[in-house]
Structure 1
Amino acid sequence: MNKRITWLSFLIVLSMTAYSQNKTSKAVVKDFMNKRFGMFIHWGPVSLRGTEIGWSRGKDVPVDEYDSLYKEFDPVLFNADDMVSIAKQAGMKYLTITARHHDGFCLWPTAYTDFNIMHSPYKKDIVGALAAACKKQGIKFCIYYSVLDWHHPDYPNHSPSGQDPDPKSDMNKYIVFMKNQLKELITKYDPYMLWFDGAWEKPWTEEMGRDMYAYLKQLKPDVITNNRLGKEMAGIDNAKIDESKMVGDYDTPEQVVGKLNMNMPWESCFTICNQWSWKPNDKMKSLRECLAIISQTAGGNGNLLLNVGPMPDGRIEARQATRLREIGDWLKTNGEAIYNTSGGPYEPTANYATTRKGNNIYLHVIKTDTASITLKNLPGKQVKNAHVLNGEKITVENDRDSFRVLLPTALAGKQEYVVVLELNGNAEALPVIH
């Protein structure tokens, strides 16, 4: 027994050493963070019922029925080029598809389980089609993969409750299955980023996450991963985390804008409606809400992954596609204040956010029915000029401890806009101003 413990400890130390030596290069992560805006796609046979992907299994939809939905899944109107084109029109720079969610169904023709798209009436590789369309249109292709699988016999939990783990399950076999599938995904589709999920479940340990990260780095050294291979994540609670304990390259606040952080990369994921997967008549966020989230996320120095759920026939719902194009139209004018910027120096609020690049601070005016915005003075810097991005010059009034930006009355109550504050020095070198 002692020898076994010693050997296991050695393997864990070896895995952790490999993890620390194979972190994704800072340049690659920086390139990812400069993109700022991506599309998340949650999709699978569950769209036939309009209930939540994974979480409705055994709750809203009986397990046997849920697990048989793939036999009806035939999204004949799915067109990868159209879907990627919508992402591009929205100003999104990368796309992430749920290749396998917690329910275990695979949207690609995997060799390691029959529970996949080739055993549906559709019989076409959805992951492959999106990968090819992304490459053609210059969008970075990314893959979501859950570390848990309530359908797989070797994964101990077969429901979200985690009660009564299956005594016949075998996590060692399951991890081999995972590694085989991940090697298959990397080899076939060469993803820019892997978005993991589900590490909160008890069967999945921190050591497994570090071992998996090291394994992925052997397959593709510069593949980016989020931090949900490990237990250290902000998640839905937007918790403060210790970056040194994080397994992966960036943090993942969920359905909430992450906190301003100039050191640790992060990406908030939001749904365009309420549910991750498609739901008929689901309440959709207004354009004003979407733009506020984009600005507050960039202002906090993070990325935004905005989710859509395609319908059972394979199309993105027309109203969702329209909303995305509206976002894209706004970014055509204001993208300079989003892409390739740093967050800060001011912390985002409900009324405004700021980003910066070179000698410019971009003031995102979220609440447009206000006459002015007052900001603390910038240490060692002054505002030389101010103007609406691609628009009129505006006035800045200086005080001893602060300055006031007088906003144009013509834009009062209208859509969010951006004011450029031109400084007499480098805005990117400024400290965060609380």
Structure 2
Amino acid sequence: MKKYLLAIFLLSVLSTSFGQAQLKTPKAVMDKFMDHRFGMFIHFGPVTLRGTEIGWSRNEQVPGDDYDNLYKEFNPVLFNADEWVKTAKDAGMKYLTITSKHHDGFCLWPTAYSDYNITKSPFKRDIVGELAKACKKQGIVFCIYFTVLDWHDADYPEHRNAKEPKVKGDMKAFVGRMKNELTEVITKYHPAMLWFDGYWEEPWKNEYGREVYNHIKSLDVNIVVNNRLGKDPNTLSGDGAVGDYLTPEQQIGKLNMVEPWETCMTICNQWSWKPNDGMKSAKECIQTLAKTASGNGNLLFNVGPMMDGRIEQRQINRLKEMGDWLKVYGSAIYSTKGGPYVPNDIYGTTRKGNKIFVHLFKKEGNMLTLPALKEAVIKKATFMNGTVLSFKQGATVTIDLPDNLPDANSNVIVLELDKNAESLPVVTTS
């Protein structure tokens, strides 16, 4: 214990002295996180009473005073953490991320550092704590979303209201309170990952991001941190980068074998619950997951529970369809690497051991043509259900396809090689 405390003290001294992150998430921890491939994002809060977007509808569709007082009516009596986590598990998801505090500033846990929290609502129960407990019980990795801006906090200069002039605020006090709140959620709930957002507004500086990152690592070096503490969300290097992995939003990231990344995307259109919101088809959901894994990324797939605390049954059903597909094809998703082929609209590929998994998204004719695989010999080609496929390997790789594919949503062809597929370089069409 003394050695642990000494290490924490030394890290704190180094962080304070140099003003930048001195310790990164260990590679083994980061690799394990990326092996999960599929997680659930949950956007939830008092705004569900209006059915508008969380945070962003404040002073837009919902007047600020109305929005800021919704917590007085917030009583999601049908919230059941075990049911939310079971929904994620049945979908084949390996981790879950809850919006503990979004840009509106409302905290879903009983923080000692803000009165604007769940204990002041009629519901009163600790939503974050109950989810952490349910995740631990069901074997799902628990993670937390946390904002770096707060339109409700008097110390934060921006309040997302053109009618209200900017206030001077006190960013030193604001960042100090943020660190205190983070200490609470880290020490009480032990999240494996922290997902930050809100970096784009002028009051937030890179120096604050580095300070917060260092603080997190002083508490638990193994916590994975996304890259939105810094001002540049497009890189993991350079002055504007703070964090461990990239986070493309509402779009699938490109093949990247060097920098870890995670696409966040909604199952419907809005992040928080909206009545009768349009929902993605099973095929689009499943192929989004396969395309993300083919690019060597994770998919953080969002649901927005209703005002009474339940996830819509239609969303549960859709997620269950993804889970059923993963029961058959999960070995081509979990713990794989992307590539070696660059994904396109027709196919993407993942790999593990001596196998390349070709995710066939649509069929154009009775033959699939791939660029030449120059550094390995294909020994066998089969559908994942075991049906053997004829193929030729030369200037290109051609695989004969049946008239009817076995799966209506997304198919997987397994190519067995004479060597480790994970060591192959990325294959280009040139």
CA distance in 2, matches of 1:182, 1:293: 32
Aligned pairs for 1:112-191 (under 5 A) are: 112-159=113-160, 164-167=165-168, 169-191=169-191
Q: Who is 1:317 aligned against?
A: 312
- Asked whether 1:417 is paired with 2:418, we answer no
SS in structure 1 of the partner of residue 208 of structure 2: helix
SS of aligned partner of 2:415: strand
Which amino acid letter does the alignment assign opposite residue 425 of structure 2?
A: P
Matches within 5 A, 1:28-43: 28-43=29-44
378-387 or 157-166, which deviates more: 157-166
Q: How many residues align?
A: 416
Determine the C-alpha separation between the residues in 1 that align with 2:161 and 2:291.
Answer: 32
Pairing 1:335–2:330 present: yes
Query: How far apart are 1:407 and its partner, in Å?
Result: 1.9
Q: Give the superposition deviation at 1:365.
A: 0.7
Where do 4+ consecutive residues of structure 1 move more than 6 Å? Answer: 160-163
Match of 2:9 in 1: none
Distance 1:410 1:127, change over 3 A: same
- Provide the TM-score with structure 2 as the length reference: 0.94
Cα distance between partner residues in 2 of 1:389 and 1:412: 10
Deviation, structure 1 residue 299: 0.5
Distance, in Å, in 2 between the alignment partners of 1:160 and 1:293 is 36
How far the C-alpha of 1:427 sits from its partner, in A, is 0.5
Compute the displacement of 1:15 (Å): 4.7
Is 1:349 aligned to 2:344, yes or no? yes
Q: Deviations over 1:379-424 (max 9, x none)?
A: 221111010112311111233x211111222317822110000011
Separation in 2 of the partners of 1:370 and 1:208? 55
CA–CA distance in 2 between the matches of 1:190 and 1:370?
51
Residue identity matched to 2:358: L
1:4: which partner in 2?
Answer: none
Which sections of structure 2, spanning at least 5 residues, go unmatched? 1-11
In structure 2, what is the Cα distance between the partners aligned to 1:212 and 1:52?
A: 27
* Structure 1 partner of 2:293: 298
CA contact (8 A) 2:236 2:245 kept: no
What SS class does the counterpart of residue 245 from structure 2 fall into?
coil
Name the structure 1 match of 2:379.
Answer: 384
Deviation for aligned residue 1:93: 0.3
The residue that corresponds to 1:251 in the other structure is 246
Over aligned residues, Cα RMSD in angstroms? 1.8
Q: Tell me which moved more, 111-120 or 94-103.
A: 111-120
Amino acid in structure 2 at the alignment position of 1:79: N
Q: Which residue of 2 aligns with 1:66?
A: 67
Q: CA deviation at 1:17?
A: 4.1
Give the Cα–Cα distance (whole angstroms) in 2 for the partners of residues 363 and 370 of structure 1: 16
**Percent of pairs identical after alignment?**
57
- Could you say if the C-alpha distance between residues 370 and 97 of structure 1 is closer, same or farther in structure 2, counting changes exceeding 3 Å? farther
**What is the SS of the residue equivalent to 2:422?**
coil
- Residue 402 of structure 2 is matched in structure 1 by 408
Partner of 2:211: 211
The answer to whether 1:374 aligns with 2:369 is: yes
State the shift of 1:18 in Å. Answer: 6.4
Q: Which amino acid aligns with 1:181?
A: E
- Name the stretch that deviates more: 195-204 or 409-418: 409-418
Report the TM-score, using the length of structure 1 for normalisation.
0.93
